[in-house]
Amino acid sequence: MNEIIVTAQNRAENVQDVPIAISVVTGEKLQEKNVTDFTSVMRVAPSLQVTRDTNLVKVFVRGVGSSGHGEANDQSIAVNIDGEYINRPTILNAATFDIDRVEVLRGPQGTLYGRNSTGGAVNFVTRKPGKDFGVNLSGTYGNYDQITLEGGVDVPFGDVGAVRLSGIYTDHDGYVRHPNTVPPKLGGYTTRQGNRSGDDHRWGTRASLRLTPVDDLTVEGSYEHVESDLVLAGQAFVDLTQAANGPGANCQLNGWSQVGPSTPGVQCVPSNTNFLSKIKRGEYNQVLTGLGSYKQRTDAVRGHLAYDMDFATLSYTGGYRSTLSKGVNTLSPAYAFTNFGEKVKTQSHEIRLNGDAGGIVWQTGVFFFNEKLTTNGGLYIPFIGPQGSYVNYFRHPTKSKNWSVFGQVEVPLGETLTAVAGGRYTDDKRSGSWTNYAFAFNSGPIELTNQATLPLVNLTYKGHKFNWLAGLNYKPNSDTLVYAKVSTGYKAGGFDGSGSTFKPESNTAYEIGTKLNFGETSQHTFNLSTFYYDYKDLQNDVLLNPAVGGQTFNAGKAEIYGVEAEAVIKPSRNDTFTARVRTH
């Protein structure tokens, strides 16, 4: 009853037969909840936490994720659209539309998904062209003048294949009103005065093709164009230098506490303050540099070929993506981070061979990823010099290359027990030729081209890693699966804004779980998993000095453990009750 098929292990399987903790959200559910971007996916996938930090999207699964967004810093969750790997937190701003399903894989996926999947993976699977002519169209109107239009059309041409054209338009006003006014322009970008922040305007279109020119050969391809125009959410802030908000003489007031008692003097930190309760969520003053704006344009081409050779299936999956972002991000209390053009070009390619020989299910393949990134902007403050000055400004062209070879095999040890083993070797290379401008006094919020620069910094990182998986699957009947496994994952190393290198982080995960179907037609499900993560060299991102920028340090180790349970009860075809409990 409503069987859900997923491709989490690079083959089509019932989600209840996959020994991975997975949350699956169908396209119908996404449309029902008006999910039009990555951030709103978490409304229907509780195991996924997605936050938008101004123009950056940060992804967490089971509390594991990355807060850094440097040019040489990666995410801890692997995100894929139809097999195309996406890494930059700015690119994840793209509109999400015409989706068949979203698969959220919890736990390290280092064997099949490679690097940067220490916490898990998120797979977006787009809707493919249908075999029959059809049209779908939906529209939504809501508060804050929200308008969403989404639709598509399938056009078949005989038994050879079909094409699908789809698109989305979404628009809504901001959620927060700001009564104060500020200068209308900053760095050439218009800001909003005495109005709302959080305005979101997006549109996108996709053309998809499916061909079966000969028996056993399937060809799929798509082209996608997405544009977004945002008024970034204005930050609320508190002036901690005011006596009414301060720590007092000995850190005893307003929730402040003392640190470093052995250091001469008194050092206070706002560890237990509660200033947020005094701020009206829907209305507060914007920062003194106004409201930020952000525009992004993305073009992507993806393709998939699969040929069934009887004994195995040979497949290729690849994608090219080009993204251009511009804007200004205003920060409390009176800063602005200008962006005069961030360009990201990526390509990913995977060749894979899947087979089933006498009940032994196997796969092997190779993967290649290449990224070219350029940045152009800096941190500006308007109160140093008549026109304001740049605290820092930089151009950081960065190149990243990654290749890997992988394999996984499932061997039956009897009628009910199966052993699983896999491995993946990955090689990483990263380089940057960074230009950092000196402090630019009285420059104004403009693009710097001829100011004095600091010496050119040439940075490189090289590394390699072997990940592995070992597990046992026990399936006494068609409605029961019990699994136990040990798996590893890692996030690549690199270099931070200060030019210092940091090591890769690695995660060894131990997990035991069960998946049960019950009821007269096995329509109900109950899934339970318990896990333990052992991290080494965990990457931590901190800002110690605005003149230096964000820095990344490796912690010694970290541990995470927890239990997850979920039940789906379907008393009828039209009624569903869902319950989830998670503790970490």
Lowest mean pLDDT among 95-109, 170-184, 556-570: 170-184
Three-state DSSP string of 186-215 = ECCEECCCCCEECCEEEEEEEEEEEECCCC
The mean per-residue pLDDT over the stretch 316-332 comes to 92
Confidence of residue 183 (pLDDT cuts 50, 70, 90): low
Tokens of residue 66, six digits: 């990355």
Domain boundaries, the chain: 5-238+279-583, 239-278
> Residues 332-362: pLDDT tens digits?
888 899 999 999 999 999 999 999 988 899 9
Contacts of 295 (CB under 8 A, 6+ apart): 227, 228, 229, 230, 325, 326, 327
Which residue, chain included where needed, has tokens 């040979």? Answer: 314
The most confident of the ranges 49-53, 150-154, 182-186, 247-251 is 150-154
Peptide bond into 270 cis (omega under 30): no
Beta strands in 2-144 (DSSP E): 5-6, 13-14, 21-26, 48-53, 56-61, 64-65, 77-81, 84-86, 99-106, 120-126, 134-142
Is the pLDDT assigned to residue 94 strictly greater than 70?
Answer: no
CA 432 – CA 373 distance, rounded (Å): 9
Which residue, chain included where needed, has tokens 């740049």? Answer: 390
CA 547 – CA 551 distance, rounded (Å): 11
What's the confidence (pLDDT) of residue 547? 62
Is the pLDDT assigned to residue 180 strictly greater than 90?
Answer: no
Contacts of 541 (CB under 8 A, 6+ apart): 66, 67, 68, 70, 73, 496, 550, 551, 552
Confidence of residue 546 (pLDDT cuts 50, 70, 90): low
Confidence of residue 494 (pLDDT cuts 50, 70, 90): confident
> Residues 521-541: pLDDT tens digits?
888 999 999 999 999 998 887
Rounded to the nearest angstrom, the gap between the alpha carbon of residue 76 and the centroid of all alpha carbons in its chain is 8
Burial group, residue 99, by CB count within 10 angstroms (0-12, 13-18, 19+): buried
User: In 2-121, which residue ranges form alpha helices assigned H by DSSP?
Assistant: 27-32
Confidence of residue 223 (pLDDT cuts 50, 70, 90): very high
What's the confidence (pLDDT) of residue 340? 93
Burial 393-415 (b: 16+ CB within 10 A, else e): bbbbbbbbebbbebbbbbeeeee
Confidence of residue 235 (pLDDT cuts 50, 70, 90): confident
Strand pairing class (120-126; 77-81): parallel
What's the confidence (pLDDT) of residue 186? 61
Give the CATH number of domain 5-238+279-583.
Answer: 2.40.170.20
Residue predicted with more confidence, 93 or 137: 137
What's the confidence (pLDDT) of residue 423? 96
Residue predicted with more confidence, 476 or 499: 476
Tokens of residue 88, six digits: 């930059």
Is the pLDDT assigned to residue 487 strictly greater than 90?
Answer: yes
| 565 touches 580 (CB < 8 A) | yes
CA 219 – CA 304 distance, rounded (Å): 6
pTM of the model: 0.88
CA 90 – CA 337 distance, rounded (Å): 15
> Residues 39-70: pLDDT tens digits?
778 777 777 888 777 667 788 888 888 777 77
Is the pLDDT assigned to residue 218 strictly greater than 80?
Answer: yes
CA 534 – CA 539 distance, rounded (Å): 14
Determine phi and psi for 199, rounding to 5 degrees.
-60, 140
Of the chain, the end-to-end C-alpha distance in Å amounts to: 32
The mean per-residue pLDDT over the stretch 114-139 comes to 91
Burial group, residue 567, by CB count within 10 angstroms (0-12, 13-18, 19+): middle
What's the confidence (pLDDT) of residue 528? 95
Is the pLDDT assigned to residue 188 strictly greater than 70?
Answer: no
Return the number of other C-beta atoms located less than 10 Å from residue 68's C-beta: 23
Residue predicted with more confidence, 158 or 205: 205
Is the pLDDT assigned to residue 571 strictly greater than 70?
Answer: yes
What's the confidence (pLDDT) of residue 548? 66
Mean pLDDT of the chain: 87
> Residues 407-462: pLDDT tens digits?
999 999 999 999 999 999 999 999 998 888 888 999 988 899 887 777 788 999 99
CA atoms within 13 A on the CB side of 152: 22
Is the pLDDT assigned to residue 156 strictly greater than 90?
Answer: yes
Lowest mean pLDDT among 140-154, 171-185, 468-482: 171-185
